Amino acid sequence: MSPSRVVVAAVRALAAAAGRALSPPSCAGCDEPIADDAVFCADCARTALPYTERPGAIGVRAADAGLVAFAPFAGALAEGIRRFKYSDRPDLARPLGRLLLCAARDAGVRADVVVPVPLHPRRLAERGYNQAALLAAHVADGLAASFAPRALRRVRSTAQQAQLSRDLRLLNVAGAFRARAPERVERRRVALIDDVATTGATLAACRDALLGAGAASVTYLVVAAAESGADELRSSPPSARRT
Ligand SMILES: [Zn+2]
């Protein structure tokens, strides 16, 4: 990856976001025009019900379970996240970030510092932005916590997680992250941000690096949770204090 490629991609992403900022608000799932304070149109909203509005659902939103998510990865929410990541739509960080902040507030999350899962440098060059960092900036603002976008770094590249089985995913990312600036997280309550939790392997590897650097606790905050991943996360409480 050359630095100039990163700059070109970042400028392109910024220009795209600026262009969309001037257009009227549109649904994060399908681009239908919507009211200013909405995220989805009425049709899409029906497929993206938050955990808080799913009576009887085993919600992965309690801070004491270590994982806070707005809703399951399905319907318009999944579509919005896909567009955010793969269709050059950094502007969707704003509506999706609002959902994430809602979930965090609803679960009573307290954080001193907000840290995004870092993106592989090659992926960053291709995409022009780290979707987790854009979300984390919104959350930090809303929670009045400090924003530490470079607190973690990948110390080795990892095969693309989506192509691997669950066991291989865990092996693939174990030890792949390091705290770049331990003083930013030491003795602090960290909110770790990603767009989606699937198996939780990446989040767990990041948590290990943060606790290793002295973080007091780590809570995962994601926009959407794949339900199987949520089960796995619940089985190993991630916010345990370091001993
Ligand atoms: Zn829609």
pTM comes to 0.81
Handedness of CA 173, 140, 80, 217 (dihedral sign): positive
Distance from C-alpha of 203 to C-alpha of 60, rounded to nearest angstrom: 15
Residue 197 alpha carbon to ligand 1 centre in Å: 23
**Which of 182, 183, 190 shows the shortest CA–CA distance to 147?**
190
Residue 69 alpha carbon to ligand 1 centre in Å: 20
Whether the Cβ atoms of residue 239 and residue 210 lie closer than 8 Å to each other: no
Residue 46 alpha carbon to ligand 1 centre in Å: 10
Residue type, 235: S
Residue 32 alpha carbon to ligand 1 centre in Å: 6
Residue 233 alpha carbon to ligand 1 centre in Å: 30
For the chain, which domains are there? Answer: 3-235 (3.40.50.2020)
Distance from C-alpha of 48 to C-alpha of 204, rounded to nearest angstrom: 26
Residue 74 alpha carbon to ligand 1 centre in Å: 13
Residue 80 alpha carbon to ligand 1 centre in Å: 9
Whether the Cβ atoms of residue 26 and residue 101 lie closer than 8 Å to each other: no
Mean pLDDT by 10 residues, the chain (243 residues): 65 64 85 93 94 66 69 95 96 96 91 95 91 97 96 77 67 83 94 92 92 95 78 42 34
Residue 96 alpha carbon to ligand 1 centre in Å: 13
Residue 49 alpha carbon to ligand 1 centre in Å: 13
What pLDDT is attached to residue 175? Answer: 80
**Any long-range contacts for 234-241 (C-beta under 8 Å, 24+ apart)?**
234/60, 234/65, 234/66, 234/67, 236/204, 237/65, 237/66, 238/66, 238/67, 238/203, 238/204, 238/207, 239/63, 239/64, 239/66, 241/216, 241/217
Residue 38 alpha carbon to ligand 1 centre in Å: 10
Residue 199 alpha carbon to ligand 1 centre in Å: 28
Q: Counting every residue, how long is the chain?
A: 243
How many helices and strands in the chain, by DSSP H and E?
10, 7
Residue 36 alpha carbon to ligand 1 centre in Å: 14
SS (H, E, C) 22-71: CCCCECCCCCCECCCCCCCCHHHHCCCCCHHHCCCCCCCCCHHHCEEEEE
Whether the Cβ atoms of residue 58 and residue 50 lie closer than 8 Å to each other: no
What pLDDT is attached to residue 235? Answer: 41
